[in-house]
Amino acid sequence: MLRLRSSFASVPLALFLAACSHATQAGGDGGLVTPEGRRLVDERAIEQSGARTAWDALQRTVPFFSFRTNSRGRPTRVEHRGRSSIVLRDQPLILVDGIELQDFTALGDMPASDLLDIEVLTGVDATTYYGTNATNGAIRIRTKVGGKS
């Protein structure tokens, strides 16, 4: 009888550990969704998107954001889809290898082949890491040169 109890005691533990694992699942757009709700677009998904620049890669793989260009096709603005405020900015925080990017035109000059991955954080998650400047979320871009750490 004692053996029977100990074997049943391990079943809830196994279920608990399986639920807590940090596995990712595939998102509908080729990216991965982590248990925390973050979207991770890996190098393979970026390559499969056919993007030539980092800006193209963002447009083709990152959901929930609108990417605006000027009349010459140069990057100008990123906005969260579905306006959250008519007064405040709807722009997410964009970081390349941990450094905040102020000028989006740099993304149009960065080859997509240099990207390691793109991680999209929700507003709540981004605020936890970056404070109130990231209430509209954050897009973290890691490059092959600077993002291996």
Entry pTM: 0.71
Q: What is the pLDDT of residue 87?
A: 56
Residue 109 CB partners (closer than 8 Å, separation 6+)? 53
**Fold of the domain spanning 23-143:** Ferric Hydroxamate Uptake Protein; Chain A, domain 1 (2.170.130)
Burial readout 55-78 (b: 16 or more C-beta within 10 A, e: otherwise): bbbbbbbbeebebeeeeeeebeeb
Q: Where do runs of H (alpha helix) occur along 1-149?
A: 2-20, 43-49, 54-61, 105-109, 123-130
Q: Splitting the chain (149 residues) into consecutive groups of 10 residues, what average pLDDT does each group show? A: 53 47 44 70 95 94 84 81 62 92 89 95 90 89 82
Q: What is the pLDDT of residue 5?
A: 55
d(CA 119, CA 140): 5
Domain boundaries, the chain: 23-143
Q: What is the pLDDT of residue 28?
A: 46
